[in-house]
Amino acid sequence: MTKSLPSTRCGTTEFRWGERTYVMGVVNLSPDSFSGDGIGDDVEVAVVQAKRMVAEGADVIDVGGESTRPGTKPLSPDDIAEELRLVIPVIERLSAELTVPVSVDTYKAEVARQAVQAGAGIINDIWGLKRDPALAQVAAGAGVPIILMANQRDAPPKVGIMAKVISDLEDGIRLAVEAGVPAENIIIDPGIGFGKTLEQNLELVNRLSELRALEKPVLLGTSRKSMIGLVLDLPPDQRLEGNLAVTAIGIANGADMVRVHDVRPTVLVCRMSDAVVRRGAISD
């Protein structure tokens, strides 16, 4: 797998890539989340959910305050007050009360800056520095890892999806390194569902191992997404089994971390998949 990759440190946590698959639990604060789990501004509910996920085995908690569902009008970089109102109080609580890192799901440098000050230890950028390259400077200055996702919503490609994803990720990696982000602090994500057709999403999962050429740990996020819904003809809250199948295939093809809504069953699938794929890395 990816044992040759250097470890990534996040505070006192060390991600030792290749030894096992890490699980990122999703805490959506935007009320109109596509997956139907939007919490809104109830900080206590968010904290309870995050703590439950950690108890179930989550290695990271990802906090987002803006919906990224298809068709949603994105907030402009200058109109971030609502996003900050949602995410900052939750990140402050979680970073103080959890034993695992908290990541902030944002593509805006100012949100990331305030989130890091509030205790976030990872920046998760769904636009891979396309929208706000200054995000890389925030990550570099704070010394925190950054996740770069390949997002094709600005220009959906009709052909050559893997080449386009790799090209976009290469651009993001270059911008991050130029801004001073250490190479070991960059994680990549192929961006399942973001400007891609069903066939392209399925192809990306099947060819995920080709991302190893970029020599970065790979995050795979397919939980409850339309790819599963279209194949199985099921709504978001009934897509668990489909995502568990994709998770196992993704691990076999090189995924190092998976971003999910349903932590406990995913942890079990990761343990079993790791026992097969990463021989001897998981103890009973």
Q: Which of the residues are catalytic?
A: 225, 259
Q: Which residues contact 245 (CB under 8 A, 6 or more apart)?
A: none
Rounded Cα gap, residues 73 and 70, in angstroms: 9
Q: Which residue has the tokens 């057709």?
A: 197
Give the chain's radius of gyration (CA, Å): 17
- H or E stretch including 136? helix 134-142
> What is the distance of C-alpha 19 from the center of its chain?
19
Rounded Cα gap, residues 81 and 217, in angstroms: 32
Q: Which residue has the tokens 């520095």?
A: 129
CB 147 within 8 A of CB 124: yes
Q: Which residue has the tokens 């800056």?
A: 113
Cα-based angle 121, 112, 146 (whole degrees, multiple of 5): 55
> What is the distance of C-alpha 113 from the center of its chain?
18
How many angstroms separate the most distant Cα atoms in the chain? 50
Rounded Cα gap, residues 60 and 241, in angstroms: 22
